[in-house]
Amino acid sequence: MELWYTEKHSESVNFSLKVKEHLFSGQSEFQKLDILDTYEYGKLMTLDGLVMVTEKDEFVYHDMIVHTPMAVNPDVKNVLVIGGGDGGTVRELMRYNNIEHVDMVEIDKLVCDAAKKYLPTLSCELNNPKVTLLYEDGVKFVKESPDNKYDLIIIDSTDPIGPGEGLFTTEFYTNCHRILTENGILVNQNESVFYEDTQEAALKANSKLKKIFPIVKVYQANIPTYPSGYWLFGFASKKYDPIKDLQADKWNSLGLKTKYYNTDLHVGAFALPSFVKEFF
Ligand code: AG3
């Protein structure tokens, strides 16, 4: 008997992966979490049935969400990660010696526990002493944080349904703006415009950010296991332009080996296809 995992990518499109073994299934007070071992993509974590990470393509997402802002301001010291319980974002952040501290606010402890057990290549830096792990609601956390605290905020969220919904609101982005330093940069996973199902979320996130930050851009990456494979990230900042202020030489001098990101690709990632440009 063959076992297949399927996520509905649109009303009339399904995405399926052939599964070797269903390793774990758990229900927290927030969501249902499953870990599956797949033939092509290695281990896969789903939340409420939707793909969050796979071992094979997570490098694209985590490279793009971390190294893109870090190459614009390589002097970042204090970082806030909202969500990100699998640990992939923190793993990439920990490669920068100048980062002094990361607060990671994940609402669901089950995500970190499952990642620590089943996804060691992602969760390997979650116990780093530079990282404070807080199991709290990110919306509440930013509301209660003091002004000018972080140089970088990374919103490593789910889709805007269920526990991730509040992370796509104007109130949340306003607090993020307030707690960022004057050099502050915010990046988020900004969904996709390819299918209508995620298009509305992508456009709303962008238009809300534009009301709050002077510089707001979207950039793209190919993530095969997310709906349509064409995925967007948002870059919002108080001062830095992601292209004009790209510190390519400085970033390259760090000598980080990255599997997806490089500074040429950084420039290309902000060059949007014509059909996408029309949306933003
Ligand atoms: N965040 C999930 C991105 C959205 C995926 N959506 C979907 N499959 N419908 C990933 C977190 C990785 N650290």
Complete DSSP assignment for 188-206 = EE---SSSHHHHHHHHHHH
For 95, other C-beta atoms within 10 Å of its C-beta total 15
Per-residue pLDDT, 142 = 98
The mean pLDDT value for 245-273 works out to: 98
Residue 159 Cβ contacting ligand 1 at under 6 Å: yes
Query: What's the 53 CA to ligand 1 centre distance in angstroms?
Result: 7
Q: Give percent of the chain above pLDDT 90.
A: 98
Query: What's the 148 CA to ligand 1 centre distance in angstroms?
Result: 28
Is the pLDDT assigned to residue 197 strictly greater than 90? no
Residue 193 Cβ contacting ligand 1 at under 6 Å: no
The mean pLDDT value for 186-199 works out to: 94
Query: What's the 190 CA to ligand 1 centre distance in angstroms?
Result: 10
List, edge to edge, every strand of the sheet that includes 3-10: 3-10, 13-27, 32-38, 42-47, 50-54
CA-closest residue to ligand 1 atom 13: 84
Is residue 32 located within the same domain as residue 66? no
Largest CA distance in the chain: 58
Residue 10 Cβ contacting ligand 1 at under 6 Å: no
- CATH code for the domain of 20: 2.30.140.10
The residue to which tokens 């780093």 are assigned: 128
Q: Which of 118, 90, 125, 103 is nearest to 33 (CA)?
A: 118
CA-closest residue to ligand 1 atom 10: 52
**For residue 14, what are the domain limits?**
3-52
Is residue 111 located within the same domain as residue 83? yes
The residue to which tokens 């889709």 are assigned: 159
Query: What's the 155 CA to ligand 1 centre distance in angstroms?
Result: 11
Residue 46 Cβ contacting ligand 1 at under 6 Å: no
| ipTM score over 0.90, yes or no | yes
Average pLDDT, the chain: 97
Residue 86 Cβ contacting ligand 1 at under 6 Å: yes
Catalytic residue selected from 156, 197, 241, 264: 156
Is residue 36 located within the same domain as residue 173? no
Is residue 36 located within the same domain as residue 92? no
Q: Give the nearest ligand 1 atom to 85 CA.
A: 13
Is residue 17 located within the same domain as residue 66? no
Is residue 62 located within the same domain as residue 42? no
The pair of three-digit structure tokens given for residue 105, joined into one six-digit string: 């606010």
C-alpha span between 62 and 64 (Å, rounded): 5
Q: Read off the pLDDT of residues 99-120 as tens digits, 9 standing for 90 and up.
A: 999 999 999 999 999 999 999 9
Query: What's the 228 CA to ligand 1 centre distance in angstroms?
Result: 13
Q: Read off the pLDDT of residues 227-256 as tens digits, 9 standing for 90 and up.
A: 999 999 999 999 999 999 999 999 999 999
Per-residue pLDDT, 208 = 97
Whether 48 is catalytic: no
For 195, other C-beta atoms within 10 Å of its C-beta total 16
Per-residue pLDDT, 81 = 98
- The preferred substitution site among 14, 64, 86, 158 for testing ligand 1, maximizing ligand atoms within 8 Å of CB, is 158
Is residue 152 located within the same domain as residue 246? yes
- The preferred substitution site among 33, 93, 189 for testing ligand 1, maximizing ligand atoms within 8 Å of CB, is 189
Is residue 63 located within the same domain as residue 47? no
Per-residue pLDDT, 99 = 98
Is residue 25 located within the same domain as residue 87? no
- CATH code for the domain of 109: 3.40.50.150
Query: What's the 206 CA to ligand 1 centre distance in angstroms?
Result: 17
Residue 229 Cβ contacting ligand 1 at under 6 Å: no
Q: Read off the pLDDT of residues 11-66 as tens digits, 9 standing for 90 and up.
A: 999 999 999 999 999 999 999 999 999 999 999 999 999 999 999 999 999 999 99
The mean pLDDT value for 188-214 works out to: 95
The pair of three-digit structure tokens given for residue 147, joined into one six-digit string: 């002004």
Is residue 235 located within the same domain as residue 217? yes
Per-residue pLDDT, 242 = 98
Is residue 132 located within the same domain as residue 198? yes
Q: What is the tally of structural domains in the chain?
A: 2
Is residue 31 located within the same domain as residue 120? no
